[in-house]
Chain A
Amino acid sequence: MRAPAIVFLLASIGLFAQGTAKNTCVDCHAALDGDTQRPALLIKNDVHTASGLTCVDCHGGNRNAEDPSEAMDRAKGFIGKPARTAIPKLCARCHSSPDFMRKFRPQQRVDQFELYQTSVHGKRLASGDDTVATCIDCHSVHDIRAVKDGMSPVHPLRLPETCGRCHADQHKMAKYGIPTNQLADYRTSVHWNALKIRGDLSAPNCASCHGNHGAKPPQVDSIAAVCGSCHVLFAQLYTKSVHEPIFSAASGGGGCIVCHSNHAIHQPSTAMLVGPKAVCSQCHEAETPGGQVAAQMAKWIDGLDSALKHSEAVVTSADKYGMEVSEAQVRLGDGRENLVKARLALHSFQPAEMRKPIEAGMAIANETLRAGQDALHEKDVRRMGLAASVVFIGITILAIWALIRRIESRGVSTQDHI
């Protein structure tokens, strides 16, 4: 009887020693298939796994138990698959606890659930609508990655398509009466272009303007402030301008988006001021003071732009001839800055504000044009000098040749024999 007892003792000790590292959830579920297998396969990519957290930390249960009924005992706290309406609270159990989060990421925010409850998603979920977005719809589940991780659905480059999974789906949005063109519009915008093509991760995505957890369309009167968080000077000028009270919430307006659109924000140009696609003419007819201001500003901007382009062309051609024009090229940069300042000044909607940068820019355009023309002239001078020199050389060569002929026609200087 002794031997089996010792074996049993040893085995138990062995089992115990291993016990703390056991994860029977993954061990069993990985051997299944379909939806019950998937979590076990995904979990190794999850950011929680890297912090030592496992299935039982969310779902409850006993990770050391081999027997399913013991491992998944509801009486002992096993939750199973939580109802969608219960998910935010479940995540918040840890993510809203400063003491808990401090153990892993001291700097991470703990107000996501609080914000969520103020959002449209949160309010509707609270009223029982479980088709709205919960934590796992955006962050995924079982393979949750850090936001900075390029494969996370809420990484800046992927976030728009994540929002679009519902918000661009007409079937899903039909019962709420929300339009579904935002994602398509956003994809035509300069912001998406900056993000996707230029790789500028600081460019805004949906969450930048709408918020992420507390997502609610920005109130109309805060649009200028939201845009102004990056486009500071434009917002400052706009809020002091005549348009601000007109496009304010009280008048049912929309701030910046009245002219620039909310999602389909395209590269602005003077086509917005005058012409068939102009926004100004939607309110201001051409002969009115407003229409005339628009026309004047468009003329100034186009004038400066084409003057700079012309100077650039001349300077570049001088450069191609090997002439030194780097100073002029630097000045042209200053000229371009003045054009930017002029476009900024536009948002005060007062021509007087725009006049200064336009005049400075035109002065630079003229100055650099002269520099480029001087360089081209210098190139011509060089070539004329060269031509003169070549002519003198040619004359000399001809003269020497004539001299040789003269000498040798006399026959005195060649010898027949050594």
Chain B
Amino acid sequence: MSGVIELLEHKTVPVHSATRWYYFGGITLFLFAIQVITGILLLLYYRPTVAEAFESVRFIMTRVEFGWLIRSIHSWSANLLIFAAFVHMFSVVFTHAYRKPRELTWLSGIVLLGLMLGFGFSGYLLPWNQISYFATKVGTDVAASAPLVGPAMGRFLRGGDDVGAATLTRFFAFHVMILPIITAGLVMFHILLVQKNGMSTPPWVSPSGVRQMRFFPNFFLRELMVWYFALAILGVLAAVFPWELGDKADPFASAPKGIRPEWYFLAQFYTLKLVPSHVWIFEGELLGILGFGLLAGSWAVLPFWGMDRTGAARTRLVTGVGVVLVAYLATFTVLGYYK
């Protein structure tokens, strides 16, 4: 404990043109904490069975005092959390904070991003409404079409051959126990590494000439302001745009028109839609999934790219790829939304 206090007393944050981006790690952490708290509260009333899931969410929204608030905050914060995680990752890319000695921090961060997406995917099914049921169907179908491991992965995710009661139980287990335990460990690891390595400075700033701001109290107070502001945003979203209940899932009904996954999966979804059904001898969807796998794999080892080049050339390469990736994700998310 005293070690932690000493660490905090000496921790500093460099002040330069990109300092504002340092907030996003904290924002992501803060929103995750909100998810944990509101998630635990929801757990007091949620019932994870096909017969009662939808009704228990309805109960929370209508009968439990401030249930509408807790649930809406949980749903909105989930979306804001994933967005913040992406911003945090891209800010690390463009300030080049992944460089030695922070490779493990980057890697653990990528895994954490994957875990956040896993939280989003598993949590989405729990209200058991039409949209969540069919979005999960589509999502698990895509996973099951991966080469070699696809069908096994599909069965593992779904708890069977179809999305149903077994899937709900399984997703509930992922969402409230398995993913949280893994995330807790990894977050601690990630933060410890950040403290150990200190805050990085972007390559265009000279490390010796830069002004440093004390983390405590100066940066911390600023961070508090940002977190409070995030709370205000969440409150407005929850009160003015309460999250809807939807219709109870009916597996025998046809999928709602224009069913599509949540926005954070839209770019991949739309890309898969665009890929032609057959490219030479390969199935289009298979190629698409392989492509994503390759992209994710290379992205994870970003710190090790272009080791043969000079520092400046490597920096330019990563910045270039980063810009293209952001543009691709942004464009295809928008396209996936409107098409």
B309 in the interface, Cβ–Cβ < 8 Å? no
Interface pair A389/B221, CB less than 8 Å apart: no
Q: How many A-B residue pairs have CB under 8 A?
A: 65
What would 16 more interface pairs be, CB under 8 Å, given A324-B61, A404-B222, A416-B211?
A322-B244, A382-B68, A383-B239, A386-B240, A397-B228, A400-B221, A401-B225, A403-B221, A404-B221, A413-B214, A413-B218, A414-B211, A415-B211, A415-B212, A417-B212, A418-B12
Set of chain B residues within 8 Å of A199, measured between Cβ atoms:
none
Instruction: Give the CA-CA distance A125 to B214 in the complex, in Å.
Output: 112
Minimum distance in angstroms from B287 CB to a CB of chain A: 43
Counting from the closest, the 5 A-B pairs by CB-CB distance are A324-B62, A322-B242, A386-B239, A393-B232, A400-B225
- The minimal Cβ–Cβ distance linking A289 to chain B, given in whole angstroms, is 51
Number of interface residues of B (CB under 8 A): 27
Chain B CB within 8 A of A396 CB: yes
Indicate whether A68 reaches chain B with its CB closer than 8 angstroms.
no
Residue B313 is within 8 A (CB to CB) of chain A in the complex: no
* B216 (CB) vs chain A CBs: closest residue: A413
B225 contacts A397, CB within 8 Å? yes
Nearest-neighbor residue (CB-CB) of B207 within chain A: A418
Q: A387-402: contact bitstring with B at CB < 8 Å (1 yes, 0 no)?
A: 0011001101100110
Q: Give every chain A residue within 8 A of B239 (Cβ-Cβ).
A: 382-383, 385-386
Q: Once the chains are docked, how many angstroms separate the CA of A386 from the CA of B236?
A: 7
Given contacts A324-B61, A383-B240, A397-B229, contact A415 B12 (CB under 8 A): yes
- B193-232 near A? 1/0 per residue, CB < 8 Å: 0000000000000001001111001100110110011011
Say yes or no: is A86 at the interface (Cβ < 8 Å to chain B).
no
Q: Does B235 contact A (CB under 8 A)?
A: yes
Confirm or deny: A408 has a beta carbon within 8 angstroms of a beta carbon on chain B: yes
* Chain B residue nearest in CB terms to A412: B214
CB distance from B15 to the nearest CB of A (A): 8
> How distant is A399 from chain B, measured CB to nearest CB, in Å?
10
Closest residue of chain A to B226 (Cβ to Cβ) is: A397
* Total count of chain A residues near the partner, CB < 8 A: 25
B: which residues have CB within 8 A of A? 12, 61-62, 68-69, 208, 211-214, 217-218, 221-222, 224-225, 228-229, 231-232, 235-236, 239-242, 244
Closest to A401 in B: B225
A45 to chain B, nearest CB (A): 34
- Whether A414 contacts B228 in the complex (CB less than 8 A), given A383-B239, A403-B221, comes out as no
Kindly state the separation between the CA atoms of A400 and B229 in the bound complex, as whole angstroms.
12
Q: Give the distance in Å from the alpha carbon of A400 to the alpha carbon of B224 in the complex.
A: 8
**Distance (Å) between the CB of A188 and the closest chain B CB?**
35
Give the CA-CA distance A42 to B21 in the complex, in Å: 82
Residues from chain B with Cβ under 8 Å of A382 in the complex = 68-69, 239
A396 to B225, CA, bound (A): 8
CB-based contact A408/B218 at 8 Å: yes
State A389–B229 Cα separation when bound (angstroms). 11
Tell me the smallest distance from the CB of B55 to a CB of chain A, in Å: 12
Chain B residue nearest to A324 in the complex (CB): B62
Task: Indicate the member of B68, B213, B225 with the most A CB atoms within 10 Å.
Answer: B225
